[in-house]
Structures are given as C-alpha cells and as structure tokens.
Structure 1
Amino acid sequence: MLRFFFWSLLVINTMMLALNMGWLGQWSLDTHEPERLKMQHHADQLRLVTASAASALAEPVVAEKKAEIIACTEIGNFPQAEVNRIEEKLKQLALGDRQTRINVIDVASHMVFIPSLGSKDGADKKAGELRRLGISDFFIVQDQSSLRWGISLGVFKTEEAARQHLNNLSNKGVRSARIGPRMVSTTKFAYQLRTLNPDEKSRLDAIKADFPVQEMRNCQTAAYSKN
C-alpha cells in the first residue's frame, strides 16, 4: 500500500511541475487576468470610462438644423420691358400675398425750401420778407403737392451743396428754411418677397441668376408706392 501512495504522489507532483513550467501548454481556466489581457488584440488601446460617458456614447446623436426663414428680401429694379419676364418666373414660387410689386421712387435732387404757409397770402407775405433780406432767387410752389404755398429756395444735385446753400441763407437771417429730398417716380419696379423658407430662397437665387444686372437686398424702408 505504501508503494502505491509513493508512486501516486510522484505522478501528481510530476504533473504539477510540468503544468507550472508550461510543458503542457496554457490552460484558459488557469490564466490570470494580466496574461489574458496580453493575449487580446490592441489591449493597449483599452480605456476606462465613467457610466455617464458610456451612456452618452450609447445614445444616438441627432443634429437637427433649424430652418432659417427670410423675413423679407427685395429684388430689382426692373424696367418695364422686363416686368413680364420676371413675373412669369416668380410665379414658380407661388408666394401669393407674400409677394408685392412696388414702384421705385428715386431721389432726383435735394431742395432747400420753406414749408407750406397755408395760403397764397401767407406765401406772398413770406416772399416779401425774403426780398427785404436781399434774397430774390426763389419761387412760390402752387402745385397740388404737400408743399403747396411753400417756397422753393433752390434745387441741388447733392445734399452737400444744398446744405451749404442753407447755411448761406441762415447767415442772411432765414430761419424757417430746411432741406428735403425731391422725389421722382420712375418706370422701374422691384419685388418684395416675404417669409421665404430655405427651399424658396434657393429657387429665388436661381431666378436671380437669369437677371445678373439686378440686385437682391433686404427690404428697404425708403419711399415706395405699391403697384
């Protein structure tokens, strides 16, 4: 019996020695964690992350771009000969009451004037005062405009020239004169288009390409008359 135990222990010890020396290969059940990591591909690229970061990575990222709406854009100024052509193209946008045609009004010159005095008698009295101050280059406005029974003291191409004349009149004692634009209506037209979405704006840009000399701009606050 003793001989049997002796040989059994010898065999077991021999097997344990062979296993520890690696003569029987690596057994996965006995592989320690560092050794297991060494056998993985790109183990050096492993990184520890927090639970919140892992949750954020797991959630789908959706980037939603808010559609930009153009409040009001204006294109022009079109001569009468091009009106039919541009309006046919603008019909493609089907904007309805979001589209307006306006008559373009330009400032042709700058006027130095005394506002309306209310009546012919008032204008004549002011004209007498001007003559006594040595001023004779003026005329009484008698048309049906808002300046009726006012007095024009000169019309100038530039505002700078008008302002210089106003200063000269002030030095002579004229205190009620002022400068204002002399508006004239032209035969040109512009189109104001409102609340355009990105697709409509893109299609308008394509239309504009057919009219290279025209300008596209933000809606202006200058004087216009709707047509």
Structure 2
Amino acid sequence: MWRLMVLLLVLLNLGVFARGQGWLLAYGLGPTQQHEPQRLAQQIHPEALVVLTDKADAAQVAASAPEPAPASTSAEPVASSCWQSGELNEAQVDTLRPLLAAKLPPEAWVLDESRLPARWMVYMGPYNQATELAKKREQLTDLKVKFFVLSNTALSPGFSLGVFSTEESAKTGLQDLVKRGVRSARVIQERQASVTYHLRLPSISAANQAALDSLQAALPGKPLVLCPQPLTPPEQAAASAPSAATSQP
C-alpha cells in the first residue's frame, strides 16, 4: 500500500515538472504564456534602448549621441508682389511690349486697356470779366436752365449746359436751349476719343527685380507702384459701417 502511494507521488511530481518545462504543450497542457509577440513587432530600434543607472551615465549618453540632422535647406517660395503703372499712351506701350516679352514670361504681365469715347458739350464762355460771368449766371438761373460752372480747365471761366456722347445729340440739346431763350451757347468737342493703358505685374519676385528695374527705366515719369491691397472682411465691415458722428434723423 505504501509503495503504491510513493509511486503515485513520484509520478505526480514528474507530471508537474514536465508541465512546467513545457513538454506537454503539444497535448494542451503547459504554463500560461506571459509574453506578447505583437508588442515586439511594434518596437522601433529596441537595440538603441539604454538603461541609465545614474546622472553620470545620462550625461555620457547625451554627449555621445549624434547631433540631429539639420533642417532641410530647400529654397522656400520667395514672396512676390504686385506692381502697376500709371496711365500709358500707345507710344509708351509700343516701347514696352518687346521689353516685356524679353524680360518676363507672358503670364507675368498684363496691359489693361481703357477706351474713352469722344464727348461733346453745349458751352457758354469763356468770360474773362467777373461781372460778365455773374450776369450770365443770373440769366441762366432766371431761365431755369441747369448749368455747371467750369473752373481750372482750358474752358474756364465758363458754363457747361450739358455733355453728350455724339455731336448730333449735342446739337439737338442746343436747339432745345435756344427755344428756352439761351442765345450765346454753342456746341464744342470737349474730348476726343482715346485709348490708354495700365501695365500690371501681378507677381514679381526678388528674382525678377532686374526686369522691374529695366521696365522702370523705360517709363520715365511713370513710376511703378505697388497694387492696392484688397480689404480684409473686418476692414470691409469697418468701411461700410456708418460713422458714429453721423447725426440721427
């Protein structure tokens, strides 16, 4: 009886030992696994890990660590600016065109064209004496004719009784005024038809500065200036807001 109990204890101990060593894993018996292989796969350069025991070790590791790589020195985009000219005539534009084509790409410049049509005026004047000017003003007021006093122009001192887009319409306007009692008015051409231009350089960088200087040299008396900046939303709101000093009705 005792021999049987001793034999069972020996066999039980052998089974526990074999299980602890993992010899019975093939049969579903064995110790619980305590490692997580998926965490090992997520490690980045585990061989670089250093366990520091004191401040001296930390200082030594810091001194031997390689310096960080310098930041990329790739060229950043150069800020560009918009430039524009004053009013240019056709002769100035003819001089500029070949220079623009040689110095700048086609998308870097724009010639904005403005056309002014001819205009005619029903005119009275000029009156060199102040007394005569005052007399004519009084007469037009009595006739209830609308007029505009011309000053600081080649036609001053005098009166404009209306401007018209065609000579025929100006003559028709004069006939109507004659019927109302106006006697000394006449039709003149106030302005001839003309074409003017404005040069605009939407995006000029520091690399194009030499081209900008060349263009400026070809435009004596017509300095290139920075384009006006568009208003930001807060500035637009401030500009459209009524003044606080405006009296209330």
- Normalised TM-score (structure 1): 0.34
Larger relative contact order (Cα-Cα within 8 Å, sequence gap ≥ 6): 1
* Structure with greater strand share of residues: 1
